Chain A
Amino acid sequence: MAPARDMDDPLAAVVATGTPPVIAPGHTFGTVTDKISSIVLTRKTPLGWWIGFLIAFAITNMLLVALTYLFFKGTGIWGVNQPVGWGFAIVNFVWWIGIGHAGTLISAILLLLKQTWRTSINRFAEAMTLFAVACAAIFPIVHTGRPWLAAYWLFPYPNTMNLWPQFRSPLIWDVFAVSTYATVSLLFWFVGLIPDLATLRDRSQSPTGRVIYGMLAMGWRGSAHHWYRYETAYLLLAGLATPLVVSVHTVVSFDFAIGIVPGWHTTIFPPYFVAGAIYSGFAMVLTLAIPIRAVYGLEDFITMRHLQNMAKVMLVTGLIVAYGYLTEAFIAWYSADRYEMFVPYNRATGPYWWTYGMLILCNVLIPQALWLKRVRTNTILLFIIAIIINIGMWLERFVIVVTSLHRDFLPSAWGNYAPTRWDWATFVGTIGLFLSLLFLFLRFLPMISIFEMRTILPEAKVDEDLRVI
């Protein structure tokens, strides 16, 4: 590489300012391709992969046992009862669907904002979105108790009973929002994969690999005409996914906000839910990215720049979430409504005070450490903070669902909620399912977008002077 070209190169300019680059220097099209594809194409599956996958798969089986027993006995095996009819199932649903939001944010919104650092993390963040949405979708389906009947409650199709879903209900909006989100995320992810599947098809040593990747690549050959339409489609998908991702958690918050239960009936919910979703999603991306880059030696591609940027996104969204907590308390006081005023008081001093206290600790106080550059550049501390935020965001949903329901208007209708072992088995089981799917993804598909990594190399730029010979 000539020194003169370095001056024009944005990556080199970044290095000069002391900010870590988005890709380590010295890589070429060939090395980027070989390094990422070799993780998939290597014949020998690492022992660590087998151990991790088998543990995750065992936990997935616990989920299957828990769900089988649920279908056999009914939702009575869970801790839900009057007045807390929405227990773990809805807490977990909102938690998982929130986690998914970071993937779409990284792949769509950061693409539209031309943030090149997204390139090395978007593929597995999108995969994380898909798997999180899959885990989320389990809960609203199974919490109906009789999911085989749920089809005609939820989907508009001509049935023999001439019944149609109730479109004035936010729960139906939720069905449309989540199923659209799952479909569009899958499309986005698959479209992004097509050129890389072609790379795997061309580089695979095994005949089976060539056939399977070949079928999935659908005959992609990198034609200039194809690339042009491909880029147009990808950009349009990003433009469509951006309002979609904002709408999904907004609609999820409507599930609560449209009800009249004190603690739910508030207009701050949509923006505060969306910020919380992005917050928890970035925490999950960091939770996954930090071990993955260490185990697979991907520090060249997922650099400190990525981790620091994600830490900054967490800091900002965390502050928005903290503002949401403040507004909730302020509006409760300002409303002068005794039932609304009771909610924050009960959250802080009632039977579940410790969940509220832990929530403030995990989501508001501890993440303030991210203001310090020393913390943002320390992968171990970042990993610990990310885990803490994951826990905090789960507690937030627990506080919203349980503390609002267990003390409503009439003291005679008050009650308490405690999860049973089946609640825990189902929740932990979905974590197993999530990790199993993630392990399979890491083994069989390129976890970093190879073709997009090629575009951020300096040599990908077409030299203006040389163009006209």
Chain B
Amino acid sequence: MALRPGLYGIMAEFDDATALVAAAQRAHQEGYRTMDAYSPFPIEELHEALGSHHTRLPLIVLIGGLVGCIGGYLLQYWSSAIAYPLNVGGKPFHSWPAFVPVTFECTILAAALSAVLGMLALNGLPQPYHPVFNVPRFALASRNRFFLCIEAKDPKFDLEGTRRFLETLGPREVTTVAD
């Protein structure tokens, strides 16, 4: 199937979450892989129905937390014991129990920043332009409508065939999405 220039994919609009999950499952069974579903709220089953894998985000957060933990501790060790050793009440320069609270806070801070920035980066956000917004009815994806879009990049994509397939899933409407 040759790629058509200016075509991003074909999109079907559904009335409820169940219909969207069912449609995503059917499309996956049919062999479609490059597709995405859009909903106004997170649907647990949808990600699985599309045949996607786990996210690497927890690993990113773990690494971020460890970096914050080690970095926070080293900052205190270096500044209190090496760069600016100051005798406070006869305590050792490397007084590790006193360094626990700041180490903890640095861990949380770095982990939280990695969670948010990691989520945005993996999702490719901020993204000022995306073809799905070319469909006027897509504005309802943030209100009460559910969309399934099979992309033209998919090897099984066929303008007529895919459209006919989507029509069989009981959608409200099927539209082509300009790139």
Q: Which residues of A contact B (CB under 8 A)?
A: 28-30, 33, 156, 162-168, 170, 172-173, 176-177, 180, 183-184, 187-188, 190-191, 195, 198-199, 201-203, 218-233, 236-237, 240-241, 243-244, 247, 251, 254, 451-452, 454-455, 459-463, 466-469
Q: Name B76's closest neighbour in chain A (CB-CB).
A: A167
Bound Cα distance A187, B84 (Å): 34
Bound Cα distance A406, B169 (Å): 77
Contact of A247 among B104, B122, B142 (CB under 8 A): B104
B130 contacts A168, CB within 8 Å? Answer: no
Known contacts A230-B123, A469-B26; is A223 also within 8 Å of B109 by CB? no
B45 contacts A230, CB within 8 Å? Answer: no
For B83, what are the chain A residues with a Cβ–Cβ distance below 8 Å? 162, 164
Q: Name A196's closest neighbour in chain B (CB-CB).
A: B142
Show 9 A/B contacts (Cβ-Cβ < 8 Å), sorted by A.
A164-B79, A167-B76, A223-B123, A224-B52, A225-B50, A230-B119, A247-B104, A254-B101, A451-B42
Bound Cα distance A187, B112 (Å): 8
B162 contacts A by Cβ under 8 Å = no
B70 contacts A by Cβ under 8 Å = no
- Chain B 2-46 near chain A by CB (<8 Å), digits 1 or 0: 000000000000001111011011100000000011111111111
Contact of B105 among A180, A224, A226 (CB under 8 A): A180
Contact of B139 among A164, A190, A203, A232 (CB under 8 A): A203
Q: How far is the CB of B59 from chain A (nearest CB, A)?
A: 11
Bound Cα distance A469, B168 (Å): 11
For A463, what are the chain B residues with a Cβ–Cβ distance below 8 Å? 18
Bound Cα distance A181, B169 (Å): 48
Tell me the interface secondary structure of chain B in the complex.
helix
Bound Cα distance A366, B47 (Å): 51
Q: How far is the CB of B95 from chain A (nearest CB, A)?
A: 6
- Chain B 112-148 near chain A by CB (<8 Å), digits 1 or 0: 1101101110110111111011000011111110000
Bound Cα distance A223, B112 (Å): 23
Contact of B119 among A166, A167, A232, A467 (CB under 8 A): A232
Residue among B91, B116, B118 with max Cβ neighbours from chain A (10 Å): B116
A224 contacts B46, CB within 8 Å? Answer: yes
For A254, what are the chain B residues with a Cβ–Cβ distance below 8 Å? 101
Contact of A227 among B18, B46, B79, B126 (CB under 8 A): B46
Q: Name A200's closest neighbour in chain B (CB-CB).
A: B142
Known contacts A167-B98, A176-B101, A218-B120; is A467 also within 8 Å of B106 by CB? no
Bound Cα distance A443, B86 (Å): 51
Known contacts A223-B36, A227-B46; is A232 also within 8 Å of B112 by CB? no
Q: Name B78's closest neighbour in chain A (CB-CB).
A: A164
For B178, what are the chain A residues with a Cβ–Cβ distance below 8 Å? none
A224 contacts B119, CB within 8 Å? Answer: no
B150 contacts A by Cβ under 8 Å = no
Contacts A33-B143, A462-B44, A466-B22 supplied; 13 other A-B pairs, CB < 8 Å: A29-B143, A177-B101, A187-B115, A191-B119, A203-B142, A224-B37, A224-B52, A228-B55, A236-B58, A236-B115, A240-B108, A251-B101, A467-B22
For B26, what are the chain A residues with a Cβ–Cβ distance below 8 Å? 469
A227 contacts B39, CB within 8 Å? Answer: yes
A224 contacts B43, CB within 8 Å? Answer: yes
Within 8 A of A (CB), among B57-79: 57-58, 61, 75-76, 79
Tell me the interface secondary structure of chain A in the complex.
helix
Q: How far is the CB of B5 from chain A (nearest CB, A)?
A: 23
Known contacts A176-B101, A203-B139; is A232 also within 8 Å of B57 by CB? yes
Q: Name B84's closest neighbour in chain A (CB-CB).
A: A164
Q: How far is the CB of B88 from chain A (nearest CB, A)?
A: 6
B46 contacts A164, CB within 8 Å? Answer: no
B109 contacts A183, CB within 8 Å? Answer: yes
Bound Cα distance A240, B57 (Å): 14
Contact of A30 among B45, B120, B144 (CB under 8 A): B144
Bound Cα distance A219, B111 (Å): 24
Q: Name B107's closest neighbour in chain A (CB-CB).
A: A240
Q: Name A250's closest neighbour in chain B (CB-CB).
A: B101
B102 contacts A176, CB within 8 Å? Answer: yes
Bound Cα distance A451, B38 (Å): 13
Bound Cα distance A186, B139 (Å): 27
Contact of B144 among A29, A231, A232, A469 (CB under 8 A): A29
A225 contacts B123, CB within 8 Å? Answer: yes
B76 contacts A467, CB within 8 Å? Answer: no
Known contacts A233-B57, A462-B18, A467-B18; is A180 also within 8 Å of B109 by CB? yes
Contact of A236 among B18, B57, B122 (CB under 8 A): B57
A467 contacts B101, CB within 8 Å? Answer: no
Known contacts A227-B47, A469-B26; is A240 also within 8 Å of B79 by CB? no
A219 contacts B126, CB within 8 Å? Answer: yes
Known contacts A219-B126, A224-B43; is A177 also within 8 Å of B52 by CB? no
Known contacts A232-B55, A233-B118; is A202 also within 8 Å of B139 by CB? yes
Bound Cα distance A453, B38 (Å): 17
Q: How far is the CB of A136 from chain B (nearest CB, A)?
A: 16
A231 contacts B18, CB within 8 Å? Answer: no
Q: How far is the CB of B128 from chain A (nearest CB, A)?
A: 6
Bound Cα distance A460, B43 (Å): 8
Q: Name B47's closest neighbour in chain A (CB-CB).
A: A228
For B91, what are the chain A residues with a Cβ–Cβ distance below 8 Å? 168
